[in-house]
Structure 1
Amino acid sequence: MTTTDTTAMTTATHPSIAAALTDLLFTPGLDLTEAVDRHFAPDYRQRTDGRWDDRAEFTSHIAHLRTIVADGSIQVLDELVQGDRYADRHLVDITKTDGSTVRMEVYVFAEFTPDGRFRRIEETTLMLDGTDSDRNIGSAR
């Protein structure tokens, strides 16, 4: 296990949640389709807090988040890569377009493809700061 933050992930040789979330949510000039294609396989599936989504549903979720997220950051606390498996624990700090903030701790278990994209992610989120209406931000549409 390693402890790191997004600044240490500049030359990752494996898939990285920090790189994916930065492209998806915090790089507004990057086209959503390009960002998804860069990090997620065509058969991608994700389970967040018990709810399964296919790649199209996941992309819809990210499209929604892009309308409410103004800025943010990811801090990877723990990360483990073994073969085609990936696990991490990270913090996501979000500033929404209305000025409010949300802080989530996320636990991830994943599988990636030989070309370095995520095939499957299963995650559990824990809201540390935010309002009751932000509790479902990990799967909001």
Structure 2
Amino acid sequence: MMAADIKTALNDLIGGSDPLEDVIARHFAPNYRQRTNGIWDDFAGFKEHISYLRDAVRRIDVTVLDEVTDHERYSSRHVVDIVKTDGSLVKQEVYLFGEQNVDGKFTRVEEVTMMLEGTESDRGLGNAR
């Protein structure tokens, strides 16, 4: 199995039309957990967050600036351009470090986001529910 990468995962999760459960199972292990800007989410919290984003985001474009894999370790620096359903634009740069299991699915991601464009209320988009 090919290892997950963040661009494919985000495009499938937020920009795709496959059922959310199927997409999550494709890229993330059942024991997945994520820390975004210091706040931890378990698997259920992550699913809730992605469900919110699917409703709030019309389009997402991911530009990977740097990406490194080393066995189970994965890291990337990427820019996410988002068009929300209300037409407003959000642009964030993300610094991500994670781990993947032997099946190539993410088991852990720790990320920090930096707002490049958007409103003050958009700063929390990485943790929104």
Give the structure-2-normalised TM-score: 0.98
State the partner residue of 2:126.
138
1:8-87 equivalence runs, <5 A:
13-27=2-16, 29-87=17-75
| Paired-residue identity, % | 51
What is the alpha-carbon root mean square deviation over aligned residues? 1.0
State the partner residue of 1:5.
none
Q: Which runs of 5+ in 2 are unaligned?
A: none
* 1:81 Cα offset (Å): 0.3
* CA distance in structure 2 between the partners assigned to 1:55 and 1:127 by the alignment: 25
* 1:46 Cα offset (Å): 0.2
Q: Which runs of 5+ in 1 are unaligned?
A: 1-11
State the partner residue of 1:126.
114
- What do the CA deviations read for 1:30-57 (whole angstroms, capped 9, x no partner)? 1000011000001000000000000110
Give the structure-1-normalised TM-score: 0.89
Q: How many residues align?
A: 129
| Superposition misfits of 4+ residues, deviation over 2 angstroms | none
* CA distance in structure 2 between the partners assigned to 1:71 and 1:13 by the alignment: 25
Q: Does 91-100 or 13-22 show the bigger shift?
A: 13-22
Q: Is the 8 A contact 2:62 2:81 kept in 1?
A: yes
The structure with more helix, counted as a fraction of residues:
2
1:107-126 equivalence runs, <5 A:
107-126=95-114
